[in-house]
Amino acid sequence: MNRKNRILAFLANHYDPFTRFTFDMLKGAGDALRIFDVKAGETFSIRSSGAQNDSIFVIEGSAYFSNIERDMQVVAAGQIGSQPILFTDKIDITTDTSATVCHVDTALIDEYLSLKDISDSSSNSDTDSIERLMFLKSTRAFHDLPVNAVEEAAKRCEQITVAKDDLIIKQDTRADAFYILLEGQAEVWREELEDDEPQMVALLGQGDTFGEEALITGGARNASIKMISDGSLLKLSKEDFDQLVSGPGLRAVSPEVAKIMADNGVEIIDVRFEEEYEQSFIPGSVLIPLPDLRNHIASLDKDKEYLILCAVGLRSAAATLILRQQGIKAILIEGGIKAWPFDTAKTMDLELIMFDFCPFAQRGAISLKHNDIAHKLTYLDPDNLPDWFEDVSPFGKVPILRVDGKTTIFESSVINELIASISSKEMLPADPIERSLCRSWIEFGSTMLGQLTGMISAADEAAYTDIHASFLENLQRLEVQMENRGPLFAGELFTLVDSTYAPLFMRMEYLNQRMDLYQATDYPKVTAWAQQLRELDSVKNSLPSSFDAIYQQFIQRRGSDGYLMNALGVG
């Protein structure tokens, strides 16, 4: 008997409620149990899995517990019989020697006991039917379903024996059943239009499911499933799947509720094809076509909620079920994008018109590149402007963002807000106070850029010194603001604040290498932030050529015979 089975047997022999399970039934409840080895002298913390009490059982050795709901300091294996150690939030475990403990998800065990009680009360129940119930409940497809739905599915499932090389389903055929792999392994093969031959895209093992996508969407199978070993399957008809799994397994919200959730930071995943997305999409949504969804599951956060969208709701229902089976908190948006009553966008032809030396225009270039938004950069010569320029720039300044070759947007902050609104990435924090704070410090960054330009334009040392003193005061204010921040302004999130300050930091670095603009050691938080930004590809690639050459030309142009140009020796 291997170690895991030995531990399960110990639970079945010593602790309630496991004494009510057969050994095979206990194996089926494995997802409710987590086993930990605690080494001598270390402190190990375990958090509960839900709102009600979870339990800890000592399997081997002895251990000390703190934050427990009973008056006991040290517990040895088998010492407390049927009485577990209960906790609601977190429990700390230490040991002088070593110990093995088992963390039990009480809510799941309660569900398994309910399943057992249902089977026990049935006149035709037997050990095999109970074990099937336990197995189904332990799979991702049935994990979150009501107990009565799992019991009914166990009755309606047909168990079939399969052999190595058996083709269970074939791509492009009609869908008529949902399958659960009971024993054995299978490969998933898919052939796309551009493929010369099918490609193996996934490997399935015990408890994995397949066939649900085509059942929900009503389309053909999008892959073939081939056994690579002997095994057995549970087969559920389309009618039974629709009644017992698809409907109960989905959580759906109206577009109005989805809009509120999205405004509060819940991410929307659009599972349509790229061509559909380009025609109309919800700003801020992320495109992951349904056939590619399984390849992206590992990148999703199981602690976050996701809203799922398609054209009318069929593909998003399939995607929602797939994600929920993988432990992702997916929520279907009813009616798809056709029922979405709020603003949508379409993929736009964007042209950013700028001078290569303009830091305000560089902000837009950084934001576009960071968000991987297709765009064209058009650099103008300020001494040889085209005739159309005054028609598109009311103030005679850059940047200008031309949309679809006709509509023009001006002012860098407005352009950046537009970029953020059509981006699939979050460019401002969801919290309204933090979002407003970011916008405030964007304006502050514009002030500091103005001071930097003012120093370059200063006619004499007195004018330069006055502006420089104000600049250092503002730099200190920025350092104080960054005291509890980092590595970027909003932690790990790259925001519009970062695209605002990156051009400023590049110019500060250039000047500081050539004169005593500031002491980097006096502003460690700002210096570290600036270094992080300068290393980003979106920042490094935001200018057409060497930044040093571009900025030197700007100083010559703006500074003329001013104090700073003479101090730098630029000429």
CA angle 152, 153, 154 (to 5 degrees): 90
How many C-beta atoms lie closer than 10 Å to residue 22's C-beta? 14
Q: Is residue 310 annotated as part of the catalytic site, yes or no?
A: yes
Q: Are 182 and 231 in contact (CB under 8 A)?
A: yes
Residue 17, preceding bond cis, omega within 30 degrees? yes
Q: Are 364 and 352 in contact (CB under 8 A)?
A: yes
Instruction: For strands 329-333 and 376-379, give the pairing.
Output: unpaired
Secondary-structure breakdown of the chain: helix, strand, coil percentages, each rounded to the nearest 5: 45, 20, 35
Q: Are 354 and 399 in contact (CB under 8 A)?
A: yes
Q: Which of 102, 310, 358, 438 is catalytic?
A: 310
Q: What is the 3-state secondary structure (H, E, C) of 367-425?
A: HHHHCCCCCEEEECCCCCCCCCHHHHCCCCCCCEEEECCCEEEECHHHHHHHHHHHCCC
CA-wise closest residue to 92 among 48, 133, 30:
48
Q: Are 158 and 182 in contact (CB under 8 A)?
A: no
Residue 544, preceding bond cis, omega within 30 degrees? no
Dihedral angle at the C-alpha atoms of 131, 132, 136, 139, nearest 10 degrees?
60
Tell me the HSE value of 91 on the side-chain side, using a 13 A CA sphere. 25
Q: Are 32 and 105 in contact (CB under 8 A)?
A: yes
CA distance linking residue 447 with residue 443, whole number of Å: 6
* Tokens coding 213: 């996508």
CA-wise closest residue to 420 among 486, 330, 490:
490
Q: Are 15 and 9 in contact (CB under 8 A)?
A: no
Burial class (CB in 10 A: 0-12, 13-18, 19+), 396: exposed
Q: Phi and psi (nearest 5°) for 14?
A: -120, -25
Give me the helix-helix angle, 496-512 and 412-422, nearest 10°. 130
Q: Which residue has the tokens 């300068």?
A: 534
Q: Are 184 and 159 in contact (CB under 8 A)?
A: no
The one-letter code for the residue type at 375 is H
CA distance linking residue 463 with residue 41, whole number of Å: 65
Q: Which residues contact 332 (CB under 8 A, 6 or more apart)?
A: 250, 251, 252, 253, 308, 313, 316, 317, 320
Provide the annotated active-site residues: 310
